[in-house]
Structure 1
Amino acid sequence: MNSPGATVPPVGIDGVRAARELLRGVVTETPVASSRALSDLAGGPVWLKCENLQRTGSFKIRGAYTRLARLSPEQRARGVVAASAGNHAQGVALAAAMLGIHATVYMPEGAALPKVGATRGYGATVELHGSTIDDSIAAAIAFAERTGAEFVHPFDHPDIVAGQGTVGLEILEQVPDVATVLVGTGGGGLLGGIAAAVRGERPDVRVVGVQASGAAAWPPSIAAASPVALETMRTIADGIAVGRPGELTFAQVAALVDEIVTVDDNALSRALLVLLERAKLLVEPAGAAAVAALMEEPDRFATPVVAVLSGGNIDPLVLWHVLQHGMAAAGRYLTLRVRLSDRPGALAELLALVGRAGANVVDVAHSRFSGALPLGDVDIDLVLETRGPGHSGEVVTALRSAGHLVEGWPD
């Protein structure tokens, strides 16, 4: 990246190696899974580093445990406080339980109920505060100042970065010929840590960060050579929706990371769908960011590629909506308006034709009341599930060949 703000990184390979020794027997050495579908797309081997299978469902336990394990006895006695929408909360809660430390975690009022429940289940006291993670962070800092509890930042601390970097050491051992590592990034702790590990042992390997375009603070920050705060954010990938890089992580990433790319929510949804269907892996939208970048520009990255699946903690309702979005983005949902003669049996004949064409009816709406309709006609709004854009075209051709006026598909 060669940012003008690049300096000596705060965390190097020795810090990551020390964190790995600390974490032995604590965290899971997560597997890497090959993906034939993604390998065919990229023209070379693609491996998935499955941190969605880590304890607490994400990589966050690595940094959280490293940070808490290095607290003094006096700091441990005062307890710790953190702020998170989910994954960091669970990592801190579990690490604190393992080390006998009381943890208080502030979460936004709209945090996913499964994540709130899991955090409480690990033994933390959960306080719901504010509508954004920034509100929760402010409340957590105020709590720390009021009580003396140690504030555990989600990414901007050398112990956090070093702990997350142990993912990189595992990647180098599991895929020795790796050429590119793709890492979804929000605040930069995971990206900066992996970059420290990779640069320290294999400086020839490219490390690329991936951000959600609706919450992409890194490109303007790199351009400005210092952290820049976003005015607004909007993305389905709440796990990487961070409005401003940290001071420490900025120095880390600027010094070590080759490139930052962005992907939109459509790409994230498609990637999540592919991982679920083809790799049988459940990830949250943020966890699919690396795969989304690969799917968007498969020729951009030298293979073998390792894409880090950073987490798998997703609310079932969010999963349902994201999968629907992914189906639509992949051309698997077809929305049409078909005009019929308003006579008994006409709708049944239309639906039978759709079935013979191999499409599945998701929704159907029957409307007789429109000033644009000729007398005796009716409009049928259809939502169909198809096998993709090519099959959608075949369905439309079948309908038109049967004499139906079809809207919603290009001629």
Structure 2
Amino acid sequence: MTKQNLLECHQRITPLVHNTAVLTSRLIDKEIGAQVFFKCENFQRAGAYKIRGATNAILQLSEEQKKNGVVTHSSGNFAQALSLAAQSVGVTAHIVMPNTAPEVKKVGVREYGGNIYECEPTVEARQAMADEIATRTGATFVHPSNDNDVIVGQGTAALELLQKQPDLDFIFCPVGGGGLIAGSSLAVKYFGENCKVYGAEPFEADDAYRSLLSGKIESNETTNTIADGLKTMLGDKNFPIIKELVSGIVRITEDEIVEAMKLVWERMKIIIEPSSAVTVAAVIKQAKESPEVFQNKKIGIVISGGNVDLSKLPF
């Protein structure tokens, strides 16, 4: 995937996605000892960055493929994103969701015209049902994170951040399926200047951390985390990019996720979901453990989404 791929993707999806705000917080800057720039994809269409990759994938389907629709499996954010992207261009979207997915995300999928099929909350069950629907309907399968068109699309958030703030020293992203951090790494490779990319994930779903250590894709025995968007695992398309370009991954406890989420809600007055709070928590943790690393640096944080079930707040 080239610099030109990213630029062409950005131009292609621009009419259908928001160029989201980049916010700052003097209080958080003081706590970190650095300048922090929040790329607020919680303000994005469908409430998360995933509309970028979904839109890019759909816009590149043939007319025949568009007639047959698309299918994916997702716990929520990509489900909503693909439904909305499909609706925007008149394509049917079949969405496989685990039966544990937050109700707020199911409501969003229905509002955007997606057809929901519920399954057991395992990667195997999700993929099996998606495969069955693809066979039955002729729909094109679009993976939420392990698809080159999706990866490039997700990278446009970091591209926009670097266009606004080209001298960043670090960019931090949450890691679930790996599409966002892989795309962001490509954006940094082509448009950053001595900028390092770090991931953040919960201890309860730390497959990417272990994958970087072992050099092969690891899975999770359990995923008992409130960061519901980070329960999926890496894929064979995004992992090689991550392995080559990501400097490291910071693991976060459930309590640290909650505290970071509260901090942003209270101080910045914006709604972020737990999966986004993982990244904020990672920067805070690193600043406490090694304050000299961030001293007078510029840090970009991709706030991945703001789709929160208000009836199940962790605080």
Structure 2 length as normaliser, TM-score? 0.95
2:300 corresponds to:
306
Preserved contact between residue 85 and residue 133 of structure 1 (Cα < 8 Å): no
Residue 272 of structure 1 is aligned with which of 257, 261, 273? Answer: 261
CA contact (8 A) 1:27 1:55 kept: yes
Which residue identity is paired with 1:208?
Y
Alignment of 1:71-220 (within 5 A): 71-132=61-122, 134-220=124-210
In the alignment, which residue of structure 2 is the partner of 1:21? 11
Amino acid paired to 2:60: R
Residue in structure 2 matching 1:317, options 306, 311, 314: 311
Q: Which runs of 5+ in 2 are unaligned?
A: none
| Separation of aligned partners in 1, 2:101 and 2:286 | 32
Deviations 1:244-290 (A, max 9, x none): 31001101111111111111111110000000000101111001121
Distance 1:27 1:44 in 2: 30
- Aligned-pair distance for 1:133? 5.1
CA distance in 1, matches of 2:249, 2:4: 25
Provide the rounded CA distance (Å) in 1 between the counterparts of 2:230 and 2:3: 24
Task: Summarize deviations over 1:4-32 as a string: whole Å, max 9, x none.
Answer: xxxxxxx3322211110111121100011
Q: Which amino acid aligns with 1:153?
A: H
> Does 1:50 pair with 2:40?
yes
Q: Aligned partners of 1:149 and 1:201: how far apart in 2? A: 35
- Structure 1 pair 301–140 and aligned structure 2 pair: CA distance change class (3 A): farther
Secondary structure in 1 aligned to 2:15?
coil
Alignment partner of 1:283 is 2:265: no
Q: Which amino acid aligns with 1:307?
A: I
Letter in 1 for 2:172: L
Question: Which residue number in structure 2 is paired with residue 296 of structure 1?
Answer: 285
Q: How far apart are residue 110 of structure 1 and its match?
A: 2.1
1 CA distance for matches of 2:158 and 2:99?
34
- Inter-partner Cα distance in structure 2 for 1:133 and 1:118: 22
**Quick one: distance in 2 between partners of 1:286 and 1:108?**
17
Give how far 1:223 is off.
Answer: 2.1
Report whether the alignment pairs 1:252 with 2:246: no
Distance 2:68 2:15 in 1: 26
2:166–2:193 contact (8 Å) kept in structure 1: no
C-alpha offsets along residues 83-114 of structure 1, whole Å, 9 cap, x if unaligned?
11110000000010111111110111122112
What SS does the aligned partner of 1:164 have?
helix
CA RMSD of aligned residues (A): 1.3
Report if aligned partners of 2:23, 2:40 keep a CA contact under 8 Å in 1: yes
Contact 2:77–2:229, Cα closer than 8 Å, also in 1: yes
State whether residues 211 and 263 of structure 1, in contact with CA within 8 Å, keep that contact through their aligned partners in structure 2.
Answer: yes
Say which SS state the counterpart of residue 166 (structure 1) adopts: helix
Does structure 1 conserve the Cα–Cα contact (< 8 Å) formed by 2:158 and 2:302?
A: no
- Residue 63 of structure 1 aligns to a residue in which SS? helix
Flag structure 1 segments of 5+ consecutive residues without an equivalent: 1-10, 324-411
SS of corresponding position for 1:248: coil
Shift of 1:294: 1.3
Q: Give the SS at the match of 1:104.
A: strand
Q: Spell out structure 1 runs of 4+ moving beyond 4 A.
A: none
Q: Which has the higher helix share?
A: 2
2:168/2:192 contact within 8 Å kept: no
For residues 196 and 275 of structure 1, the distance between their equivalents in structure 2, rounded to whole angstroms, comes to 28
- Choose 1 or 2 for highest CA Rg: 1
Cα separation, 1, equivalents of 2:203 and 2:4: 33
- What fraction of aligned residue pairs are identical, expressed as a percent? 35
Larger RCO (CA under 8 A, 6+ residues apart): 2
